[in-house]
Amino acid sequence: MKIICMGDSITYGLGVEPSRRWSDLTAKRSGHEVINCGISGDTTAGMLARCQVQVFPEKPDILILLGGINDIIFTGNYRLACANMIAMIKQAQMQKITVIVGIPLPVAPEDMAVHAWDPDRDNARAKRQCGQYADWLLHYCAEKKIQTVNFRKLFLDEKGEAIRELFQDGLHPTAAGHERMAEEVCKVLDEWKPQCCLP
């Protein structure tokens, strides 16, 4: 089975060895062909455009979409990300590609971002909007019966706060974070049997 992972720096694996990215770990553990189409700094608009050249010609069985955080950071609004995600989902479905929507990671504590990544980021706003965006994705996918893989929950503690140790800089996961993501993807693939996976 061929799987394409479309996303931004979190899919690209910024800060970790390629062999330790969640996509590569998923390929190793599942035995499926997994193609990483992550680009650092990309928005959902860029992902939507790239689907035409990087995804649809490859005719994958499954497309995993994970994006939207850069939209929030760059524009302060998650609504355009919602529209672009809907467009990607519908276009993939028209191509008979099964879609899995990744629920994005939370934003980690402000001091990590200020010292390690982006001192100008409005962390409180980004944190709030990332939560709203995640809630919207979960609601939309449940309503449309689209499979999700909830990466967000893997990075939250019992109090609903981001687990610092799983982040490099308040945004990008560590190798341990990628391990958790791969485990969750493999779990979803094992437990959920889409039509394309049936013999």
Rounded CA-CA distance 81/70 in Å is 9
The pLDDT value recorded for residue 97 is 97
Q: Is the pLDDT of residue 38 over 90?
A: yes
Between the alpha carbon of residue 110 and those of residues 30, 114, 159, 183, the distances in Å are 36, 6, 17, 27
Tokens of 185: 């993807």
pTM: 0.93
Rounded CA-CA distance 32/176 in Å is 22
Does residue 21 or residue 192 have the better pLDDT? 21
Rounded CA-CA distance 185/66 in Å is 12
Rounded CA-CA distance 122/108 in Å is 12
Rounded CA-CA distance 41/8 in Å is 6
Residue 41 — very low, low, confident or very high, per pLDDT cuts 50/70/90? Answer: very high
Q: Is the pLDDT of residue 124 over 50?
A: yes
Single out the residue of 181, 173, 185 nearest to residue 10, CA to CA: 173
Q: Is the pLDDT of residue 98 over 50?
A: yes
Ordered structural domains, the chain, with CATH: 2-197 (3.40.50.1110)
Residue 115 — very low, low, confident or very high, per pLDDT cuts 50/70/90? Answer: very low
Rounded CA-CA distance 66/73 in Å is 15
Q: Is the pLDDT of residue 117 over 90?
A: no
